[in-house]
Each structure stands twice: as structure tokens, then as C-alpha cells.
Amino acid sequence: MFDFYFELPLLLRLVLQGTAVILVLFPLAAACSMAERKVSAWIQGRPGPNRTVPPFLAWIPGISILQKLGIFQLAADGGKFTFKEDVVPGHVNAFYFILAPIASMIPALTTVAFIPFGAYFTELADGTMKLVPIALTNLDVGLLAVFALGSLGVYSLILAGWASNSKYPFLGGVRASAQLISYELSMTLSVLPVFLWVNAPGGPGTLSLFDVVQSQSQPGFFGGMWYIFLMPLSAFIFLIALFAETNRQPFDMPESEADLVGGFHTEYGAFKWSLFFVAEYAHMIVGSGIFCLLFLGGWNPLPWVTLADVVNFGAGFLPLIASPLVMGVIGITLFLLKVGFFIFFFMWVRWTLPRFRYDQVMTLGWKKLLPLSIANLVLYAILIAVKDLYFPNL
């Protein structure tokens, strides 16, 4: 059925795959802005955007449901951002001012290349079934690559703050650089216990995100356990650092409307402004995806119940379920549901907790989170060594 696709040159296929992923991620990130407005409205007990509908569609019966959901408001916002006059203020450094929002998109849209979304069975030449990840690349150093590219996201904020040539954006840019560097350390240290556990002696030795999910899909009590139960502290530190790295409240120091007007994007408007926010939501989606892969079993539906179990069970009734296409769709859907919950969680926290002061952010990062993550790493290193030495078959 899809033979014509595999006859295309490899380079063209890779470009098509990358474009397909971006074509999903970009609108998803834009749709998050509407979700944010609806969630905030729901938390604050008001209806939120529920009036917009194009007049030429208003006669369709049942369209008021979409209208109440604010779907058309999203399109209206998008149209407004695209067609609004794109002002470059006279006092800015125009080159870097325009470069900053473009630079914000690069890490936001490239990190997704290392995220596996799902998996399917394929039959090898010798007849055995092998689980294959659905991802653009499955690198040995997968997670490090995500961290490396993600760490480049700070430059767009610094550049925007600096090129705006005005005080509040400048303060926002300086805060962004300090905050993002501070929390990167805790973030990296907090995931190390996961990889200590995954890379048991004699294993392949890998940082691949697919292998992390695979090691949460093994039989047995510890094999099928999601790492959020095994390492709750790691997951907690990672989640806090993720909030700080994506500049979400209560950590949105670079933006900080109450004391910095709009922070780094004070001087921005129209399409350039919206690019910053699409990038922020794309970071949130990728970050939630990594959290789900590391601590929530990726595309596995429940702890101790893997996707392969479900598909094999379902194939007993309906053989179609075991086909790669259906299995892939089931896996991606489960994964996106988990990611969707975390996007909601981000918004939930934003509209529930007040913003930290800047000194509190620094104290939390350097004096609390960093020692905690180092202690967590040492503790798990000792526990895992003891387990490997004395209970190798556990």
C-alpha cells in the first residue's frame, strides 16, 4: 500500500518526515494558546472565548459547540498575528531584534526530532517480531541531544532582551540567562538515576529515550514499573526544573508582567511576538513528552501493562490491531494523551500558584534543588549498586 513511499530517495523521505512532524507540532503549539485561555477561564469561573464564529458558517446546525469551545477564536488570533502590521521600533538593534524570534523557533522545532512518539512490531527476516520506535531519529545519545538543543533556547530570550535596547526587556533577558543556566544543572542531574537504572551491567549502555521506555516495559514487578514510582524525587526535581526551563509560572522571571511590563518581549508585537509563544508552547510539549518517556512509561497504557500486551490481547479479537499502522496510531494516541495531561498540568499550576520573586527563584535553584538532586543521585547510585551486587535477579 505504501510501496511508492519507500521508493522515494532517502533524503526526500527524511525531509517529508520532518515536515510532517513540524506540521503537527506547530499547530499543536498554537492550539495550546487557546487551551490556555480556556483553562484559565475555567479555573477562574468564567466562560472564556466563546463568541467568535465566521458569519458564513453560522447557519450550520451544531456549530455553536465549536463556537463555545473557541476554535474559531484560535483562527481569528492566528489571522490577526499574521496580518497585523509588523512594527520594528526605531530604537532597537533591528538585525538582532528580528533574529531573536527566529532563533527561538530553532531549538523548539528541532528537539522534537529525538522524541519517539510510539512503537510498532515489525517482522524480521528470521520471523521474530521486533519493536521499532516511531521517531525521526533514535540516537544513542538521544536525551543529551535534546538537552543540548534545548539549552540553545536561552539565546532567543537574551537576544530579544538585549536588542530591544530598553530597560525592562533588558532585565528580562538577564534574568532569562541566569535562570535557565541555574536550572539546567538540576534537570540534568535529576535524570541520571534513571539512566543508572536502565544501564544495568551487561546492558548496551545508552541514553536513548526509546530504550528507557523499553526498560519500563519488561515483565516482572520492577520491569513493568514506571519510574515515577521508583524514583519519585527524580521526577519531582525534573518537573520543577522543566517549569523553570520553559519559563512557565511560577518561574516566568524573563516575562514577569507585574514588575517588567512584558519582560523580554515588551517591544515585540504581531507575528514576532506570537513566534515567542509558539516556541514556549513547543518547548512545553517536548518537555512533557520527555517527562512521559522517562517517568510515565511513554506509550504504555498503564504501569505493568505494556502497549505490546494490549495489542496482543486485542489482536485475539481483531487481527487488524496488530498491524503496524493501527498499533502505531494507538501508541501515538496514548503518548499524546499523557502529553496533553501535562500541558493541562502546566496551565493548572500557572493559574493556581503566584509567581516567585527573583531571589526566591535563585535560592530555590542553587540552594535547594541542586543539593537535593546531587543527594538523590548519590542515594540512587548506592541503592542501585547494592541491588546489582546482592540482588542481581530482583
The DSSP secondary-structure symbol of 114 reads G
Binding of another protein at residue 180 (CB under 8 A)?
yes
Taken as a whole, the chain contains a residue count of 394
Binding of another protein at residue 165 (CB under 8 A)?
no
Q: How do strand 118-123 and strand 129-134 relate by DSSP bridges? A: antiparallel
CB of 151 to another protein, least distance (A): 3
Binding of another protein at residue 371 (CB under 8 A)?
no
Helices and strands, number each (H, E), in the chain = 17, 2
CB of 327 to another protein, least distance (A): 29
Binding of another protein at residue 73 (CB under 8 A)?
no
The DSSP secondary-structure symbol of 202 reads T
Residue number with CB closer to another protein (145 or 260): 145
CB of 141 to another protein, least distance (A): 5
CB of 13 to another protein, least distance (A): 16
Q: Which of residues 299-358 bind another protein (CB under 8 A)?
A: none
Q: Work out which of 72, 170, 268, 356 binds another protein, going by CB under 8 A.
A: 170
Q: Give CA–CA dist 64/140, Å, rounded.
A: 49
CB of 169 to another protein, least distance (A): 11
Strand partners, 129: 123
Residue number with CB closer to another protein (161 or 250): 161
Binding of another protein at residue 158 (CB under 8 A)?
yes
Phi, psi at 196, each rounded to 5°: -60, -40
Q: Work out which of 138, 151, 166, 333 binds another protein, going by CB under 8 A.
A: 151
For another protein, what does the binding mask look like between residues 196 and 235, x meaning CB under 8 A? --------xxxx----------------------------
Residue number with CB closer to another protein (188 or 312): 188
Binding of another protein at residue 155 (CB under 8 A)?
yes
Q: Give CA–CA dist 80/274, Å, rounded.
A: 10
Phi, psi at 300, each rounded to 5°: -80, 135
Residue number with CB closer to another protein (158 or 282): 158
Binding of another protein at residue 178 (CB under 8 A)?
yes
CB 189 within 8 A of CB 373: yes
Burial class (CB in 10 A: 0-12, 13-18, 19+), 180: buried
The sign one gets for the Cα dihedral 10, 12, 17, 18 is positive
Q: Which of residues 122-141 bind another protein (CB under 8 A)?
A: 139-141
The C-alpha cell at 47 is 466562560
Burial class (CB in 10 A: 0-12, 13-18, 19+), 344: middle
Residue 148 one-letter amino acid: A
Residue 96 one-letter amino acid: Y
Query: Can you give the binding site for another protein, defined by CB under 8 A?
Result: 96, 139-141, 144-145, 147-149, 151-152, 154-155, 158-159, 161-162, 170, 173-174, 177-178, 180-181, 184, 204-207
